[in-house]
Amino acid sequence: MGRLAHSPGWWRALVARLRDPEHAGSRPRGRSSAPPPDTDEYDARHLIQRTLADKAALRRRAPVSREDAARYEALLRLELASLEELERALRGGRIGGPDAEDVLVEACAELTQLRTEIAWCRALLAERATAGR
């Protein structure tokens, strides 16, 4: 999968960047209760790595576990909904910027991949349901 699928919440950061490319990521001056950016980045990377590991484990177990196949499908559906929302925003002109066209192309490729994975999960679940009768 492309880099979009590898970061939870990527669409929020992307939408912020595309809405205001000059000011996205800038921090207000003065005291802030937020941790330093290095800590945020480390935490985000750790969360992304853990999420990807959990997702990969679900995918590996999906063929042998109906519960894991269902959980994996639910996770993919959440990703699909988020990507569809991003695609609508990009196509509708609500967000834009210098990278908008590239992001749209990548989002469309990710949508295709997610739909393929969801179909695979459905087939697994249908197979299990038939075998369980």
pLDDT in tens, 87-120: 999 988 888 888 888 999 999 999 999 999 999 9
Q: Output 121-129 pairs: Cβ under 8 A, ≥24 positions apart.
A: 121/62, 121/69, 121/70, 121/72, 121/73, 121/76, 122/73, 124/62, 124/63, 124/66, 124/69, 125/66, 125/69, 125/70, 125/73, 128/66, 128/69
User: What pLDDT is stored for residue 24 in this prediction?
Assistant: 43
Spell out, as residue ranges, where the chain has pLDDT lower than 70: 1-37, 132-133
Domain ranges of the chain: 39-131
User: What pLDDT is stored for residue 108 in this prediction?
Assistant: 94
User: What pLDDT is stored for residue 96 in this prediction?
Assistant: 81
pTM for the model stands at: 0.65
User: What pLDDT is stored for residue 1 in this prediction?
Assistant: 46
